[in-house]
Chains A and B, each alone.
Chain A
C-alpha cells in the first residue's frame, strides 16, 4: 500500500528546475532508497516529503504529494504537525547540547507533555527502538555530546521516534560513521520498518542494496527508474540506471 503518493511533482529553486514531473509511490512499512549522483535531486525530493524545502528561499513546489489521503502542500496543512508525522534524521548526527534524556524528551516536552512517568516511558521506548537503551540506560543524564558518532546518530533516531512519526526520512544517515556504527544503523533500519515507513537517501549503492525493499534512481532532476531493489540491482530496465549502478556513468 502506498503511504505517500507523489504525482507530477516539480520543484524550482528560483528559475532552476530541480525536480521534473516526479511520480512515485512510497510503500507503507517498507524501506525506500533514493540513489543517484550528486545534484540529481534525491535529497531535494526527500525534503519535499515533510516540506523542509519551505525553509529555503525562492523554492516553488508544484504537483501532488499525498500522505495517505492528505495533500501535504494544501494551504491549510499545519507544517509542524506534518513533521511530527514525517520525522527526519540528517547526515551528521546533530544532538542538542543537553543530556541524553533531554534530547529524546525534547519533542514531547515541546508538545506540552509534563508527566514525568510518561516522559520516562517515551524515552525508554524510543531508545530501545533505536537500539541504544542498553548502552546508555545508566547515564541518561550525561551529555549527549559524550556519545560516539554512531551512538549520537542512534540518539537522533530515538529523538525522531519519540514523536511517534509514521514516516522516517533519512538523509545519508551513515555517511559520517565507521563501518561498525553503519552496520548497527542498517540493522536498526531493517527492524524499524516493522512499524515505520522509511525513506533513505544514500550515496552507497551497496547500502541501498542491503537495506531497502524498493529503490528509486534519480538523475538530473528526473526519476529514471523505480523498482524492487533486487530487480533494480540485477536487471535494471533503463540503460542510464545500468550505467550508474555498474559505475560506467559520467
Chain B
C-alpha cells in the first residue's frame, strides 16, 4: 500500500490548490489596483507573479519526480498529467494579471474615462471560475467542471458589452481612444483568464473519466 507515494500525491494536490489561491489573489489585486489607480499595488502584481512562477516550477519538478521514481499508472498518471497541464493554465493567468497591471501603470494617474463596473464584475467572475475549476479538481466533480464552461459564457457576454460601450465612447469622443483601448485590453485579458479556467475544467473531466471532451 504505497502510503508514502499516496501522501506525496496528496501534497501535490494541495500545492496546486495553493497556486490556484495565488492566482485568484493576483487577479483581485491587479483589478483593484486599476480601480483604485494604486500604482504601488499594480507593481506588487509583478512580485505575486514571480511567486506563482516559482511555485509552478516546483510543482512541475515534483510531477517529474513522481513519474520518474514512482511510475504512476491509471488515474494517478492522469492526475499528474492533469496537474502538469493545469499549472500551465494557471501560470498564464498570472501573466495576464501582469498585463493588466502594466496597462494600469500606463494609465497612471490620468482620470478614468468612466466608473469601472463591468471590469470588476468580470474579475470576480473569473476568480470564482478559478476556484470552481480547482474545487472540481479536488472533488473530482464533473458537473462542477462543466459549470465553469457556463460561467465562461457570462464572462464573454460582459466582454462583448464592454467592447460595444467603449467603441461607442470612442466614436463620440476621439480623445478617449487611448484609454478606451487600454480598458478594452483589460477586458480581453480577463476574458482570456476565464478561457484558461475552462481548459482546467476539461482536464478535470479527462482526469476523472479518461474521456476527452471540449466544453467550450
Contacts and interface: CB of A to CB of B under 8 A. Distances in A.
B210 A246 contact: no
Contacts of A241: 74
Nearest to A204: B71
A236 B76 CA distance: 12
B75 A246 contact: yes
A236 B73 CA distance: 10
A184 B198 CA distance: 45
B15 interface: no
A194 B2 CA distance: 38
A245 interface: yes
A242 B75 contact: yes
Given A234-B77, A235-B78, A245-B74, A250 B1 contact: yes
Interface in A178-230: 205-206, 209
A247 interface: yes
Nearest to B211: A235
Contacts, number: 35
Contact of A248 (B2, B71, B77, B210): B2
Most buried by A among B5, B6, B75, B78: B75
Contacts of B72: 246
A94 B74 CA distance: 36
B203 to A, nearest CB: 14
A90 interface: no
A247 B77 contact: no
A236 B72 CA distance: 13
A233 interface: yes
Contacts of B73: 205, 209, 233-234, 245-247
A195 B75 CA distance: 35
Contact of A234 (B2, B6, B71, B74): B74
Contacts of A234: 73-74, 77-78, 210
B74 A235 contact: yes
Nearest to B70: A247
Contact of B6 (A245, A248, A250): A248
B74 A233 contact: yes
A70 B5 CA distance: 48
Interface residues of B, number: 13
A246 B73 CA distance: 5
Contacts of B78: 234-235
Contacts of A245: 73-74
Interface string A99-111: 0000000000000
A247 B210 contact: no
Nearest to B206: A235
Nearest to A235: B210
Contacts of B76: 246
A247 B77 CA distance: 12
A80 B72 CA distance: 43
A236 B74 contact: yes
B84 to A, nearest CB: 15
A206 B6 contact: no
B82 to A, nearest CB: 12
A242 B74 contact: yes
Nearest to B71: A206
Interface string B71-93: 11111111000000000000000
Nearest to A209: B73
Most buried by A among B74, B76, B77, B210: B74
Interface in B1-36: 1-2, 5-6
Contacts of B77: 233-234
Interface of A: 205-206, 209, 233-236, 241-242, 245-250
7 contacts: A234-B210, A241-B74, A246-B72, A246-B74, A246-B76, A247-B5, A248-B6
Interface of B: 1-2, 5-6, 71-78, 210
Q: Which 9 A-B pairs have the closest CB atoms?
A: A235-B210, A245-B73, A247-B2, A246-B76, A242-B74, A246-B74, A245-B74, A233-B73, A246-B73
Given A235-B210, A245-B74, 12 more contacts: A205-B73, A206-B71, A209-B73, A234-B73, A234-B210, A235-B78, A241-B74, A242-B75, A246-B72, A246-B73, A247-B1, A250-B1
